Amino acid sequence: MAAEMRIVLRNADQINPDKIEDYVQAGGYKALEKARSMARTDLIAEVKKSNLRGRGGAGFNAGMKWSFVPEAPVKYVVCNLDEGEPGTYKDRTIVEKDPQRLLEGMAICGHAINSNQGYIYCRGEYPYVVDLLRRAIDQARSSGVLGDFNIEVRMGGGAYVCGEETALIESIEGHRGEPRFKPPFPGVSGLWDKPTVVNNVETFANLPDIVMRGGAWFASIGTPSYPGTKVLTLTGDVVNRIPIEVPTNTTIREVIFDFGGGIRGGKKFKAVQIGGTSGGFIPESLLDTPIDADSMRNIGATLGTGAVLVMDETRDIIDIVTRISKFFEHESCGKCNPCREGTFRAYEIMKKINKGQAAPADLDKLALLSRVMTKACLCGLGQAAPGPILTTMEHFKAEYQARLQI
């Protein structure tokens, strides 16, 4: 059986998250000290060498992202802890178990891009995490480990779209949470139009180990194109509904049947949705795919945030996709036409299919709308929203056909 490999969750349940002394005793803040002894360019080169790719969903090379940041008097490091993706609780887990690791990762990034101000944008539904983080920041500040790097916490108001980095920036600035067009990318013009690196919690949390053990070590773990580990959060009809941290060459089958302990109640597997609500639905035939972002993309799915929603044989795919469509209809910010109106119409058509009132023409219409949204929407929300529809139309076509009005 495949084994867990813990990097970002290494200290989980081993230390008291409310005591910085525990973290320091476990080797904490040595990496920041080492990073600060390095030239910035060398530090960025090391992170590039690790091939660490963003753990928030988009999977962009973190070192590369940092290297685009121009010289400027004011720059910001922003941590995305919005974690609005249903079924995802990895960032919360990382921070709850080991908040200092996040702070250390952010400070390492701060040194790399020459910034002394960090913001953590925390999901509004995690008020206790905000409290924990503020205590952790106070401890780090008074013990002096952060040096001149300052970190503040900002709370979200519950909008899913604010997990999108530019909408997140708008929200921190006090504006309506709507994405900006890109370019300019935040690395060049982000928070208050200053160069800003936005990374996910898990991305930052990997940095201390990359700095201590070297980029080459990290790059050798898991799949070479997306190395390291990934924290996955198991939900749905799986025996073990737990967070796990596994190398990225672990297969979906291993995730569900080894770590997850298989399907609940002795039932059969039907489908799994990975990466969050916009993730593709994966049928049994593709379960031997490794979980790394590229392998997932090759089968029309995503790794995304690492949420793993398992569905057993009794689950109604059409009903689930209808509920997912409702989610996107509710969470579309309304800025761009294809998402604002498209998510509404997609939900309308899915409801019709779900009620058994749809004709074959409705399926064509839904496929057309989904295709256009994927390529035409302003941000990732609208582009990814049709994913569950398109993948279930491909892999579970029979369920759609069976529901049509004859």
What are the beta bridge partners of residue 290?
A: 251
Q: Can residue 383 be called a binding residue for other proteins (CB under 8 A)?
A: yes
Residues 6+ apart with CB under 8 A from 313: 267, 268, 269, 270
State in angstroms the smallest separation of the CB of 170 from other proteins: 12
Per the CB < 8 A criterion, the answer to whether 182 and 60 are in contact is no
State in angstroms the smallest separation of the CB of 158 from other proteins: 11
What are the beta bridge partners of residue 34?
A: none
Contact pattern from residue 138 through residue 177 relative to other proteins, giving x for each residue in contact according to CB under 8 A and a dash for the rest: ---------------------x----------------x-
Per the CB < 8 A criterion, the answer to whether 292 and 248 are in contact is yes
Q: How far is CA 306 from CA 105, 116, 139, in A?
A: 20, 30, 31
The C-alpha atoms of residue 395 and residue 333 are separated, in whole angstroms, by: 29
Question: Looking at beta carbons only, is 159 or 211 nearer to other proteins?
Answer: 159
Other CB atoms within a 10 A radius of the CB of residue 270 amount to 20
Q: Can residue 333 be called a binding residue for other proteins (CB under 8 A)?
A: yes
Q: Can residue 376 be called a binding residue for other proteins (CB under 8 A)?
A: yes
Q: How many helices (H) and strands (E) does the chain have?
A: 18, 11
Report phi then psi at 324, rounded to 5. Answer: -65, -40
Q: Can residue 181 be called a binding residue for other proteins (CB under 8 A)?
A: yes
Q: How far is CA 57 from CA 21, 85, 242, 384, in A?
A: 32, 10, 20, 11
**Contacting residue, 337, 356, 397, 405, with other proteins by CB under 8 A:** 337
**Contacting residue, 378, 384, 389, 390, with other proteins by CB under 8 A:** 378
Per the CB < 8 A criterion, the answer to whether 52 and 210 are in contact is yes
**Contacting residue, 340, 367, 399, 404, with other proteins by CB under 8 A:** 340
CA-angle at 152, arms to 117 and 305, nearest 5°: 95
Question: Looking at beta carbons only, is 263 or 346 nearer to other proteins?
Answer: 346
Number of amino acids touching other proteins (CB under 8 A) = 35
**Contacting residue, 5, 103, 234, 336, with other proteins by CB under 8 A:** 336
Stretch that binds other proteins, among 27-35, 51-59, 70-78, 340-348 (CB under 8 A): 340-348
Question: Looking at beta carbons only, is 246 or 369 nearer to other proteins?
Answer: 369
First-to-last C-alpha distance (Å) of the chain: 48
Stretch that binds other proteins, among 3-11, 217-225, 363-371, 397-405 (CB under 8 A): 363-371
Q: Can residue 369 be called a binding residue for other proteins (CB under 8 A)?
A: yes
Residue ranges binding other proteins (CB under 8 A): 159, 176, 178, 181, 183, 329-345, 348-349, 352, 365, 368-369, 372, 374-378, 383
